[in-house]
Chain A
């Protein structure tokens, strides 16, 4: 009689286990969803810092060689921009494109004369201008570039002669 009772209990537990075990994954499977807006924001390219320049002395060639240096520009996402456009102001005018030296740069994403530094995250960047005139003074401005985005041009460097 006792054995039958034990057997019946085992059977009852077996049945309950059989029934209840699959219930857990069934409960975990309730599906739900929701639709609405999610947002992302684009960075902003700030104004570049004003550059400085050093004239090579003695000049290695007929034209003077200026090495232009400026603090790297970081966009509002905290990374360095990928390039810069360097412009010269001399007696011929302002915003002149540099046509000789590393400041000349290349065309990047349709943007002409972009100087692309080897390390955009470096604290400072520099390039050379090899086609400034000997007469008068020269000064420089720098425009930060990110793709086709540009920041405001820097203030002009001091004038050099």
Chain B
């Protein structure tokens, strides 16, 4: 009888291990499949140019502002950004080349930004994205600098 109990316990333990393993394996497979499915059905964030207060001058670094829309049915936490090309819109009658600013490397957001599921355009500020060279041309006064930014996030 004792042997029977022990056998039962061992059998159950093995069943748990095997079952758990099978379950874990099944989950791992289905988990991978689920992630793939979610990735396939998720939609990219929509990023448009935001409104920034004037803060850039020779020798200074400044933040850039983008408006970000999350069309996904799940909340997203923005964690980092990378930057691309810069274009400049100088004031009327002025000339300012894009080379008057340098672009930061990839940044991790000091304070991740949470976007609610299906949120409308939300201003997102990315600090220290642009730096103006100390010898920037006089024509850059009042200019608007637009940089392509890729914002990376994950479900919150």
Contact = CB atoms under 8 A, between A and B. Distances in A.
Interface in A1-43: 4, 7-8, 11, 14-15, 18-19, 22-23, 26-43
Interface string A93-117: 0000000000000000110000000
Interface in B49-86: 49-59, 62-66, 68, 72, 74, 76, 84
Interface string B130-156: 101011111011111111111111111
Name the prevailing secondary structure of the B interface residues.
mixed
A33 B154 CA distance: 8
Interface of B: 8-9, 12, 15-16, 19-20, 23-24, 27, 31, 34-35, 38-39, 42-59, 62-66, 68, 72, 74, 76, 84, 91, 126, 129-130, 132, 134-138, 140-156
A150 interface: yes
11 contacts: A22-B31, A32-B45, A34-B47, A38-B126, A39-B144, A39-B147, A40-B55, A77-B55, A148-B58, A148-B136, A149-B140
Contacts, number: 188
B56 A42 contact: yes
Contact of B138 (A7, A8, A148): A148
Contacts of A27: 155
A148 B45 CA distance: 39
Q: How large is the interface on A (under 10, 10 to 19, 20 to 34, 35 or more residues)?
A: 35 or more
